Amino acid sequence: MKSARTALRLLVVGACLQAILSRAAQEPKPQPPDPAVAPIPTEITSAGPAEMVSTATETIFTFQDQVVVVGTNLKLTCDRLVVVAKRTGDPKATLGKQENFKSLIATGHVRLVQSEREALCDRAEVFPGEDKVILTGSPATVRSNDGRYAGSGPEMILERGQQRAVIKSPRFVLPPLRDLGPGKDKAKSTPPGAPAPSSPPDSSKMISVPITVPITPKPASPP
């Protein structure tokens, strides 16, 4: 009798474990977060000479001619670039400690590439501390790398690291819509390989063909 109870308990415990494992297998597993873009040092190069002017709190760098900026999720090219960096340390030192970029002002044939979009404009103001980019031009244009989407306007505000833009007086170019005119929903596309639908025949060129209709003999009346 005791062995029977023990066997029954084992069966109940086994059934419970199986139910728990089955439920755990059906529950969706949490997806790992998307890896963040690893920050990289900001590198600035130019074909022309660069000028540096320092104050007690800031250092201003000016680059000329074929300027290229490469940074975290950012590539910028322009004709002229003015960079303002926060400065700490001895205010009398020629080279103080550069903490962070306060702003980057690019002008002249500006091209800005971020993730899956690029922007073209006359002037770009980049504020790294606010993750914000302000574009102005005639007009400024933002488009996707595949060319399917484009927006333009006299001023744009882009949020860096996000697929979001605020455009004043915008003009957008988007993929084409299907024809939504009356009766267009009933039109069916011709399947591949099928002959194209023929146009209605011209009645003036039709040939008259006699039509024969079989007539069933009338049954004979009874005598």
Structural domain of residue 143, as residue ranges? 43-173
Tell me the pLDDT of the chain (223 aa) as tens digits. Answer: 555 555 545 555 455 546 555 555 555 554 444 455 678 888 999 999 999 998 888 999 999 999 999 988 889 999 999 999 987 655 555 444 445 788 999 999 999 998 788 999 999 998 888 888 899 988 899 888 888 888 899 999 988 666 677 888 988 888 888 887 776 655 555 556 656 555 554 544 444 344 333 434 445 555 5
Please indicate, yes or no, if residue 104 is contained in any of the structural domains. Answer: yes
Bridge partners of 151, per DSSP, are: 142, 172
Token pair in block for residue 184: 């267009």
Please indicate, yes or no, if residue 78 is contained in any of the structural domains. Answer: yes
Q: How many domains does the chain have?
A: 1
| Count of beta carbons in the 10 Å neighbourhood of residue 200 | 5
Which of 187, 143, 146 is CA-nearest to residue 165?
Answer: 143
Please indicate, yes or no, if residue 163 is contained in any of the structural domains. Answer: yes
**Residue 110 and residue 77 in contact, taking contact as beta carbons nearer than 8 Å:** yes
Please indicate, yes or no, if residue 14 is contained in any of the structural domains. Answer: no
Task: Find the CATH number of the domain harbouring 47.
Answer: 2.60.450.10
**Residue 37 and residue 72 in contact, taking contact as beta carbons nearer than 8 Å:** yes
Please indicate, yes or no, if residue 193 is contained in any of the structural domains. Answer: no
Please indicate, yes or no, if residue 207 is contained in any of the structural domains. Answer: no
Please indicate, yes or no, if residue 164 is contained in any of the structural domains. Answer: yes
Please indicate, yes or no, if residue 192 is contained in any of the structural domains. Answer: no
